Structure 1
Amino acid sequence: MAKKRKKGKLLQRLGLPQLILAGVIVAFVGLLLVRLLGEQPRVVVDDSAGANQESVLREHQAFITSLAPEAQRLQLTYHILPSVTIAQAILESDWGTSRLATQYHNLFGVKGTDPNTSQILSTKEYQNGQWIEIHARFQVYSSNTAALEAHAKLIAQGTTWNPQQYQHVVAASDYKTAAAALQQDGYATDPTYAKKLINVIETYKLNQYDQ
């Protein structure tokens, strides 16, 4: 009973304005606590990397699509698997972005001899167990279609000093055999050339274009 009387006297001492103010303070503190305790931390997601990756994939697919029909047409005449042709163009031209490809439509790094139809550019070749930079004369083409046809003729007809040089590539019935044959027949100096071709073909399912 004594405690009740003390509490009552305390309330009597406080005037109405003080009670209202106290109530407002208590309510404000309560709302603040609820917000602090209940609000979840915001996670900011940077999706620029994902957007960039999607853009690159679209560009890659566009490059593949631009070459596939012609590569398939050439297969009927020269018997070169489109998957291998496309994969070679991807590796040799860095997806069509190299200077040689963008300015001269040379998708395969084909060398030239005639000053009227070639340009001197720097390139890297694997010699004596290491990569070195050299300057060489490279063929200029009028279009990517012209480059694809010249490449198919080279594989099918061989070089001027050895018409049978790429006979194993022409005879191959699957991309793995053809890729290994290109390295075996001395198409590229890179010792991992066949492995890179196969990786590109399998990553982008280029064998779907083989007839």
Structure 2
Amino acid sequence: MAKRKRRKSRKNNSGLKVLIWILVIIALFLGVYAAHHYYRIWNQQRIEKQLQRQDQQAKQAFIKQVAPEAQAMQNSYHVYASVTIAQAILESQWGTSQLASQYHNLFGIKGTDPNTSRVLTTKEYINGHWIVTKGRFKVYDSWSDSIKDHTKLMLNGTDTNKENYQAVVQATSYQQAARELQKAGYATDPNYAQKLISVIQTYKLYNYDK
């Protein structure tokens, strides 16, 4: 009888060892899986932060590139540099749009002369909806030329209304200038003024008005 009990005890110990090994293997597998999972999350967050840094660096580089000419126009003609820079940001998608990158047109200024303009696709807000349409836009040799022509537009108005942007030039704050731009119909976007003000405040563009 004693021998049988020992054999049964050995069998129980053997089964227990197998169970322990199974549990150890499961624990190792779960540990490896968890480590891989958290590493993947950490690596993804690291890449996202790196891309965000690169994006912010590119945006700051764009601002620094267009700011000097915008300030020069403000000093000479009282067109707020912050508003000019904010318009360039919105209209050109930080200088990355086809119109800005290929044709140096930062502000979506339209033209009529086929020799100095190109027909491109654009979006317009009409009757409560955004629609895709085509327009003829001016071509410039540089972003500086685009900024100068933008100031000229503010000063001289449009072909149909020479006083169209006088309220923008005479504004006493960048907020007022942004609202006057929208009132004058510079863009069809109903939130254009608020977007300009938001960009100015987010990137502290008002510092360039000093």
CA distance in 2, matches of 1:164, 1:196: 24
Once residues 79 and 160 of structure 1 are traced to their aligned partners in structure 2, the CA distance between those partners, rounded to angstroms, is 22
TM-score, structure 2 normalization: 0.80
Q: Kindly indicate whether the alpha-carbon contact (under 8 Å) linking 1:112 and 1:138 is maintained by their aligned counterparts in 2.
A: yes
Question: In structure 1, what is the Cα distance between the partners aligned to 2:119 and 2:144?
Answer: 22
Output the aligned Cα RMSD.
Answer: 1.9
Identify the residue that residue 146 of structure 2 maps to in structure 1.
147
Which residue of structure 2 lines up, in the alignment, with residue 158 of structure 1? 157
Stretches of 4+ aligned residues off by more than 2 angstroms: 41-44
Higher mean C-alpha displacement, 41-50 vs 160-169:
41-50
Identity of aligned residues (%): 55
Q: Secondary structure at the match of 1:125?
A: strand
Name the structure 2 match of 1:14: none
Is the radius of gyration larger for structure 1 or structure 2? 1
How does the TM-score come out when normalised to structure 1? Answer: 0.79
For 1:121, what is the secondary structure of its paired residue?
strand
**Aligned positions, number:** 177
TM alignment of 1:28-177, pairs within 5 A: 43-44=38-39, 45-46=42-43, 47-177=46-176
- In structure 2, the partner of 1:207 is 206
CA separation in 1, counterparts of 2:119 and 2:207? 36
- 3-state SS of 2:115 partner: helix
Aligned counterparts, 1:183-194, within 5 A: 183-194=182-193
Q: Is the 8 A contact 1:60 1:95 kept in 2?
A: yes
1:181 equivalent to 2:180? Answer yes
Q: Where does structure 2 lack aligned partners over 5 or more consecutive residues?
A: 1-23
Q: Could you list the per-position Cα deviations for residues 97-144 of structure 1 after superposition, in whole angstroms to 9, with x for gaps in the alignment?
A: 000000000000111100000111110101111111111111000000
Report the CA distance between 1:77 and its aligned residue.
Answer: 1.8
Q: What one-letter code is carried by the residue in structure 1 that aligns with 2:50?
A: A
Secondary structure at the aligned position of 1:162 is classed as coil
Return the alpha-carbon distance in structure 2 between the equivalents of residues 201 and 119 of structure 1: 30
